[in-house]
Structure 1
């Protein structure tokens, strides 16, 4: 039987409605694949994971009494926010970095990585959401990411991006709350949007069930260490709460 890499679920008994998802939490390169031919510096860089995202997600988890699910391996092994047929699921190049171990991924290897990493992650996330639906805790799905302040040599002014797929309601509510409650440069659908194929997890797990959802992107220089991650969690937890409250109010009014 092939080895499977199950995601980690924390605070599963949470009473809050928010389900936090961190697809790019880890820069681990498990033994079946090794380092994919990358240097140590490349394995620490943003191409391998979302630096600071897991620490931020844990800070939000405690403040929101949310459940958190996060992936156990580098997104260069398999990016759990990409479908198996997408080149970005196992990219041969990420920004300015070549990924030697991904240059010639065979169909058999693609299937093996899908079985080992992608399916356990999304099976567990789907099950988590369905169990909470059954318990009467209709989930609000929020994915947590970070992005590099400089991309292809171009500086990014945005500090907090809020991205949506088909349903913009929660993303707009969170962006508007951030504009009122913080001094951050908060933008909708920046530095990415659904047009960049970055909303796979939302599209597969939240949209089919009409669950409120949003993807949060925080510039990683703002969450570079544990203290900064805690401070950002303290700043954003009330923003998320206000966004959720706003869509609840809208739903009651409709």
Structure 2
């Protein structure tokens, strides 16, 4: 915890929504020597989800919801991946090489798991367990161009086997936004992105959804607040529908 591995905001929030932001930070602990990244790569979307924490924080305030966020770059450890996943400690992200992860020994990787993943997993598990009826909502952002291809989707509504909250959001999105909303895009379960949902919601029967926001839509504080306001109203209505 001394490394700010996990941050909990509004711990007494009473909203049914329990917010999670696994890629909130681009912080790389000093002893990892910047993972050998260039200065530009260390602040790129490969290192974190730009704008996601700001949106999640606005939502936490608007909904009076608890928020659990990682304080470590996903290049040090991706908290939305289990330790068994090859990309939990990635040596490459899109076109960006991560030299500090290329030659990791099993001991090195185990150290990353114990320092970064386990405290986050435990804090989120404890927060979920203490909530009377949580609906897990994870907040992410994605880059508009990936491997040279433009992405038309603006907000993705992602789910694994439990579709309840995602179904409600897809059914009523036109009431809240004219943005291009797509299901399980730009990623889906086949890409390994639903680990948090499976581990902390699906296994326990809690409704859940993962929200991906194209990061050019949340590039300024004003845009972050605007998107969060829209999402908050949309989520409230969808949660109410899901609990009927």
- TM-score range normalised by the length of the shorter chain: over 0.9
Match of residue 38 from structure 2: 39
Q: Choose the corresponding residue for 1:142, options 116, 137, 140.
A: 137
Q: Over the residues paired in the alignment, what is the CA RMSD in angstroms?
A: 1.3
Q: Choose the corresponding residue for 2:230, options 214, 226, 235.
A: 235
Q: Deviations over 1:139-181 (max 9, x none)?
A: 0100000000000000000000000011011112112222332
Contact 1:20 1:142 in 2 (8 A): yes
Q: Which runs of 4+ in 1 moved over 2 A?
A: 2-6
TM-score, normalised by the number of residues in structure 1: 0.94
Runs of 5+ unmatched residues, structure 2 = none
Question: How far is 1:4 from its partner?
Answer: 6.2
Residue 147 of structure 2 corresponds to residue 152 of structure 1: yes
Q: Choose the corresponding residue for 1:182, options 164, 171, 177.
A: 177
Q: 1:4 to 1:230 in 2, by over 3 A?
A: closer
TM-score, normalised by the number of residues in structure 2: 0.97
Matched position secondary structure for 2:32: coil
Contact 2:80 2:193 in 1 (8 A): yes
Residue 221 of structure 2 corresponds to residue 226 of structure 1: yes
Mapped partners of 1:63, 1:196: distance in 2:
31
Contact 1:4 1:120 in 2 (8 A): no
Contact 1:38 1:99 in 2 (8 A): yes
Runs of 5+ unmatched residues, structure 1 = 250-254
Report how many aligned residue pairs link the two structures: 244
